[in-house]
Amino acid sequence: MAKIVLTADRTLMSPYRGISLATFFGCAPAVDPHRPKNSFWYYILKDQVTPKVLFDFICNPIGQKNGIANYAPYGLRKVEAALLRDGYKREEVVVAHPDHVDKFIGPETEVVGTYEMDPLGMGPVTMTFTYGRKQTSYDEFYNRDLHMKINAAKKKNGSHAKVIAGASGTWQYNYDPKKIQEYGLYAVLEGELGGIAPEIDGHAGEFFNKLIAGEFENMNPFVKSDFKVEVKEFGKDAEKFHGRFIHYWDEPDVDSIPNIVEPSMHGMVEVMRGCGRGCKFCDVTLRPLRYYSPEKVKQEIEVNIKKGGQRNAWLHSDDIFVYGLDPRKTKNMAPNRDALEELFKAVMSCGIEHTNPTHGTLAGAIADEKLLPNISKIIKSGPNNKTGVQCGFETGSLRLIGKYADRKLSPYKPEEWHWVVKEGVKTLNENHWIPAFTLIMGLDNAETEEDGWDTIRLINELEREQPESQFTVTPLTFVPIGLLEKSEFFDIGNELTAPQLGVMYKTWQHNFKYGIQKFMDKTGSNNTFKKKAFTGLARALGGVPLTAMEKYARRKGPEHERVIETIKAKYW
């Protein structure tokens, strides 16, 4: 039995058979509790939406040794490393495989910490796929499954361990607080600003020491401390209950952030924190910019190579193209080409076969005409070694982009947004990069019908003007985080206008026609068989969402049907 048990649910503890795009599969709907029992699909699948046997095949479990996970989410590895640095012994800290967590929970266990990214299915992608949680996503399904296993193990083994939920998804418990009671959470750890994930790895030892010592039971709010305990009251009368939230805000410098000591999922390593772009709908902008040195990045990659056998490296950043610059001093956020080239040379010197950054902006990609060709040469991007990167498309509306994300375009102006998108796709593709775009539906609940049509038209213009272009587009529903945390959720289940349905329809039509059928199997893992098998499955099922949206339009009425027919006639 361990003193501290760290774990995460299955959706965060899977290699997804080496298919990078499949990591979003946890956002898929698992269960529809409202499905009529006399329907055809209930007869075939009961209340399942995405068949569980299919999901479990794609979301294959990671390996384990005696119940200890071979790989773990990068953030969980950071907490593990910080505890070992701060004085805890190796045998006292265990990163448990979710299927074997019960082996490590006993009378001497003090804390069970769960790493949670989308625990209640409220993430933007998930809210879209589940129609605003009218269905239950696999993220939520397996998070609940994990907490039920933890509670069962505590009861069986006589454990009084404190269960605490952490990581960037914990803000969701404020919107469905009954889960705190259902899961038996001692506390929810969250940041001080906008629900942003706390950077607990800077002082993990201090936090767990206080937690074990019971100092969060009745902490005096008037005593100066890095931690603040807030007991929130939810509900009314007989339904009233409480939840303990531990707030923490720290901005550890790079020297205070430990290197991972065991391998991370997908070969993930961090190269920086923060962004500096200032988009109002994003909580990352609340963090200050800090950069890992190329040597620190190399050290973590080498852990993944030596201990995990990894040959790929995902470089986590919130915008790789601001690496190495100071936005307060750098005019128009011009990329620091020298710093970026030094970083990627260091990464490739480790002997890996493939690398790609997680996020980047279109403006940053094209602001320096030599930048992308030089990086692509360093990382050996080519026709058979595509580099994927997630970029914010956000909206085709110049009005909305100017109001909510003007610095996202620096050094360009909001009125140049359409040109930036088109030039960005062209430049990325020419250098064998494929952008995976995300856009926001119902942005701050201020989106007009014309804004929706602007988005549809921009996607269509890209297809017509660049017929060989390679990109995907995923619509997300607006979630109130960042500087817009006081706004309301966009209720996709009840507030979906006809043009917004059109945006969903157009994006999926593009992804099916262009992405799945043309180039999905050219990114991610080097295992050709796995990629082709996954792509074949996606091709077989790719038309299902289009058919479902057409049926939805017929149920909603003539206005929604006209939008679908207009897209087929003018924007197909």
| CB-based contacts of 491, cutoff 8 Å, min separation 6 | 132
Q: What is the pLDDT of residues 530-560, one digit of tens each?
A: 556 555 655 555 567 788 889 889 989 999 9
Tell which wins on pLDDT, 238 or 175: 175
Categorize the per-residue pLDDT at 432 as very low, low, confident or very high, splitting at 50, 70 and 90.
very high
Sheet holding 472-477, edge to edge: 387-394, 433-441, 472-477
The arithmetic mean of pLDDT across residues 58-68, rounded, is: 95
Interhelix angle 371-379/337-348, nearest 10 degrees: 10
User: Cα–Cα distance between 441 and 424 in angstroms, integer?
Assistant: 22
- Report pTM: 0.90
Q: What is the pLDDT of residues 99-120, one digit of tens each?
A: 999 999 999 999 999 999 999 9
Instruction: Mark out the alpha helices in 116-160 (DSSP H runs).
Output: 124-129, 138-157
pLDDT of residue 34: 84
Instruction: Mark out the alpha helices in 357-448 (DSSP H runs).
Output: 362-366, 371-379, 398-404, 417-430
The arithmetic mean of pLDDT across residues 325-348, rounded, is: 89
3-state secondary structure of 182: helix
Residue by residue, DSSP assigns 207-227 as HHHHHHHTTTSS--TTS--SE
Categorize the per-residue pLDDT at 195 as very low, low, confident or very high, splitting at 50, 70 and 90.
low
CATH number for the region 265-489 comes to: 3.80.30.20
Find the radius of gyration of the CA atoms of the chain.
23
Averaged confidence pLDDT in the chain: 90
Q: What is the pLDDT of residues 368-397, one digit of tens each?
A: 999 999 999 999 999 989 999 999 999 999
User: Cα–Cα distance between 288 and 61 in angstroms, integer?
Assistant: 35
Categorize the per-residue pLDDT at 480 as very low, low, confident or very high, splitting at 50, 70 and 90.
confident
